[in-house]
Structure 1
Amino acid sequence: MPRLAPLLTCLLGLLLLAATPAYAQEAPPWGTGESQGEDLSIYLATFGPGDDVASWWGHGSLVVEDKRLQHSRLYNYGMFSFDERMLARYAMGRLEFWVDDASPQGTFRLYRALNRDVRLQELNLTPAQKVEMGRLLAENVQPENRNYLYQHYDDNCVTRLRDGIDKVLGGQLRQAMSVPGRMTLREHTRRYTDVGPPMSLLLDFLMNDEIDLPVTRWQEGFLPDELERQMAELQVVGEDGQKRPLVAKNLNIYEAQGRPETPATPPKYGPMLALLGFALGGGALALAIWGGRTGGRAPRILLGLQNAVVGLVFGIPGLALFVMWLGTEHTVTWRNENLFLANPLTLLALPLGVQVMFGSTKARERLLRLWVVLAGLGVLGLLLKALPMFDQDNWRLIVLLLPLSLGMAGALWVVRRAWAPSVAARTSEPLSPSLKTS
């Protein structure tokens, strides 16, 4: 991004899967000076969330219509090239987007087919402002102007619309919205990703305290619904010096059927994650105690399996976060406090857990040392929260991963004290001379 989180906010569904940069069509009448301001209409189009992760955030575009010349175009700043290099560019924080123009009605049909809301707000601009907006859009879509480096929170397909509207309004939008926002960027991210809890938790893990800082309503305008709300509330000063609503008319083109609404506030899943963390840590201890009492294979296999799964599920994100900090431009991942909780070391629990399943005593000892280190790092991260610079809103991750690490360390300590050498380890030892046959 250099920002993360949903990464591809402005995806146009299946249309973009095959998208490649193309030259803009012949200049529209508002780009050549043929259109008169009195004949133009400018609309902010807001599209509701979709099914896939990239579309959870919704989307927005601007529509220009010349009613006299019967010409209209939709300007979409959410285009990008979906090719073999796309994932590499995104991983490095260098994903490039561009603006393209298309048929409004064709775009509306696409979103209707995807069962996504389609809403229009006709902007109450002066004739001169309409001409200026049309000129800016026609200019931006030209090959030499169309590309920009995507940043999820600061420079995306919706902030480009916001900035253009603010420019023709002479800065009135930014001035009016330079007031405290309703919530932090993390809280907005969590409420929009509530439809997919695992992905929501992953994004929460990957992002640092940059998105926990207080923001203004202007900054909240990176979201389509938030920009739409701001348009509806804004009163602008006209040529006569009088204030008037910025939105002249609302048009509801299509309302999605059976799609859950985005919650107004972020979900409160902290208590559930705490229960899960204590259950996983306590479960590991229970397996260790069971194995010490019975000496059977089942607890050994289950404990090894749990370590392997935990190493896989939390080790890969920990490794990815570490790499993103050191080797990419995703500044929102840098100096992330969650590395105290899960990091590349966590991934070692995967091979060591598999070895424990097959009876390796050495792997059990190595796992003990591993979890002692990881638990110690988790406790250190918790203690550092007392310092002002460690202000990341990661308590949900702490209550999940710290009890898990402590429970794993405790379980492996019980294994060392209470478990007899495994059958596999005993049978792999060489026979004593007295037992050898001649």
Structure 2
Amino acid sequence: MPRLSLIASCLLGLLLAAAPASAREVSVPPWGSGESRGEDLSIWLVTFSPGDDVPSWWGHGSLVVEDRRLQQSRLYNYGMFSFSDAMLARFAMGRLEFWVGHSSVGSTFRFYREEDRDVRIQELNLTPEQRVTVAKRLADNVLPENREYLYHHYNDNCVTRLRDMIDVATGGQLREFDRAPGRMTLREHTRRYTAVNAPMSVLLDFMMNDEIDHPITKWEEAFLPDELESQVAALQVKGADGQLQSLAAKSWNFYESPTRKRPPAEPPPWGPWIFALGLALGGAAVGLAAWERQRGSRVARMLLGLENAVLGLVLGLPGTALFIMWWVTDHTVTYRNENLFLANPLTLLALPFGVALMWGSQKARARLFKVWVALVGLGVLGIVLKLLPPFDQDNWRLIALILPVSVGMAGAFGLDRVLARLRGGDRASTGRSAAATSLKAP
């Protein structure tokens, strides 16, 4: 698999929030053909809790239409996509298409129960006319000529489509309610949902720019199923009689997991731990360099080379992918990312030079020194530029992790040079003293 596809597959968890089952092509439902009556229809918002695999970390949402008189129901899912190598390529270019499908309510609910994921239901308190409108729009959206859309994780996904549908049904009352400021930024929401896997959380944090760091409204927070669910529960809408009533007529659980926890309310406070890890990695490089010089240890040299190779891969590969995605893709959340001051294609050079150092190459030492000094300079420049308003990305956690590593590596090879010069100076001084002594001898 190409290198970019590997990065794409790692990032898939951020940009995909799809349901697991594919839709079946069936006949037009009675609410699509005009047979259903509004008073017989029921519209449900269904929220599925997050799962274990990366694409399901965000949870999922769907709408259900039920005609009680005709005893028919269907679940509408805007999270359909085709998983393939071509899909990964489209994802990497930021041009991934999703579509809406429909499926059996019972079989879909049973699937999520088998996955040990909550299935929470809210029946929407809509007028008969509003129910007909929503049901007809869903039936039209699922048609082949209407079903596809260009996916965007934050702005246009399987939940924002439900939000928009509910807003239309309520005459814009949901959007009006959601003009209030959101609880946190998109990045903070992302960090709290990805807290289940620290390495992936840090990777996703690295890949995203300041587009997700600005204050948002509750409307924008409703890209998440749980947020939309809570907003529907809180919203009071005007009924047919003009009186305010809850948008959620009633709520119940089809299944509630006895073990699975809800996502944390706040992003995890990992800053001090991340900084400690950065200091440990940078300090280890200095320690290995000192050990090698003082003892002439081959093991120390091998470990220092290995650390460079691993860091060149772990930091350089995402940095290179980020650089490429900025220039050649439509992923706007990767553009002009300040983390490129910390890790970029230059960092990837530590991989081959680290391997060469393990084999004893002296040229690799000089090259690694230049690479890490350049990265330290870029990292410091990135901090200085934060004094300017355009450089407002929330990346202090990444600075705390990566800059100490670069400083430690530069210090390791700088120490190597300093010690070499000191030893060279000691030998020269010894030589001069010996020569002076021989001249004084009779």
Task: Indicate the TM-score class for this superposition, using the shorter chain for normalisation.
Answer: over 0.9
**TM-superposed deviation, 1:291:** 1.2
Work out whether 1:156 is the aligned partner of 2:163.
Answer: no
Conservation of the 8 A alpha-carbon contact between 1:10 and 1:79: no
Please give the residue correspondences for 1:57-206 in structure 2 after superposition, counting only pairs within 5 Å: 57-206=58-207
Name the counterpart of 1:432. Answer: none
Q: Secondary structure at the match of 2:412?
A: helix
Conservation of the 8 A alpha-carbon contact between 2:178 and 2:217: yes
Structure 1, 292-301 or 346-355: larger mean CA deviation = 292-301
Name the counterpart of 1:381. Answer: 382
Structure 1 unmatched runs, 5+: 421-438
CA distance in 2, matches of 1:75, 1:236: 24
Whichever residue aligns with residue 39 of structure 2, its letter is E
* TM-score of the pair, normalised by structure 2: 0.91
CA distance in 2, matches of 1:357, 1:9: 40
Name the counterpart of 2:18. Answer: 11
Work out whether 1:346 is the aligned partner of 2:347.
Answer: yes
Conservation of the 8 A alpha-carbon contact between 2:49 and 2:262: no
CA distance in 2, matches of 1:179, 1:82: 37
Structure 2 unmatched runs, 5+: 1-7, 422-442
Whichever residue aligns with residue 59 of structure 1, its letter is H
Which of structure 1's runs of 4+ aligned residues deviate more than 6 A? none
Name the counterpart of 2:435. Answer: none
Please give the residue correspondences for 1:290-301 in structure 2 after superposition, counting only pairs within 5 Å: 290-301=291-302
Q: Secondary structure at the match of 1:101?
A: strand
Whichever residue aligns with residue 13 of structure 2, its letter is P
Conservation of the 8 A alpha-carbon contact between 1:57 and 1:192: yes
**TM-superposed deviation, 1:416:** 2.0
Please give the residue correspondences for 1:36-51 in structure 2 after superposition, counting only pairs within 5 Å: 36-51=37-52
Q: Compare the two structures and name the one with the higher helix fraction.
A: 2
CA distance in 2, matches of 1:30, 1:327: 44
Name the counterpart of 1:429. Answer: none
* Count of matched residue positions in the alignment of Structure 1 and Structure 2: 412
**TM-superposed deviation, 1:9:** 3.6
* TM-score of the pair, normalised by structure 1: 0.92
Name the counterpart of 2:322. Answer: 321
Name the counterpart of 2:408. Answer: 407
CA distance in 2, matches of 1:257, 1:237: 37
**TM-superposed deviation, 1:182:** 0.5
**TM-superposed deviation, 1:418:** 2.4
In percent, how many aligned pairs have the same letter? 65
Q: Secondary structure at the match of 2:13?
A: coil
Whichever residue aligns with residue 12 of structure 1, its letter is A
**TM-superposed deviation, 1:168:** 1.1
Pick closer, same or farther for the CA change 1:5–1:237 going to 2, 3 Å: farther
**TM-superposed deviation, 1:8:** 4.5
Q: Could you give the per-residue CA deviations for residues 72-100 of structure 1, whole angstroms, max 9, x where no partner exists? A: 00000000112230100000001100001
Conservation of the 8 A alpha-carbon contact between 2:209 and 2:336: yes
Q: Could you give the per-residue CA deviations for residues 342-378 of structure 1, whole angstroms, max 9, x where no partner exists? A: 0011010011001111110000000001111011100
Q: Secondary structure at the match of 1:6?
A: helix
Q: Could you give the per-residue CA deviations for residues 182-237 of structure 1, whole angstroms, max 9, x where no partner exists? A: 00000000000000111100000000000001100000000000000000000001
Q: Could you give the per-residue CA deviations for residues 357-402 of structure 1, whole angstroms, max 9, x where no partner exists? A: 1110000000001111011100110111111110000000001111
* CA root-mean-square deviation: 1.4
CA distance in 2, matches of 1:92, 1:419: 48
Name the counterpart of 1:31. Answer: 32
CA distance in 1, matches of 2:341, 2:416: 25
Conservation of the 8 A alpha-carbon contact between 1:31 and 1:139: yes
Whichever residue aligns with residue 187 of structure 1, its letter is E
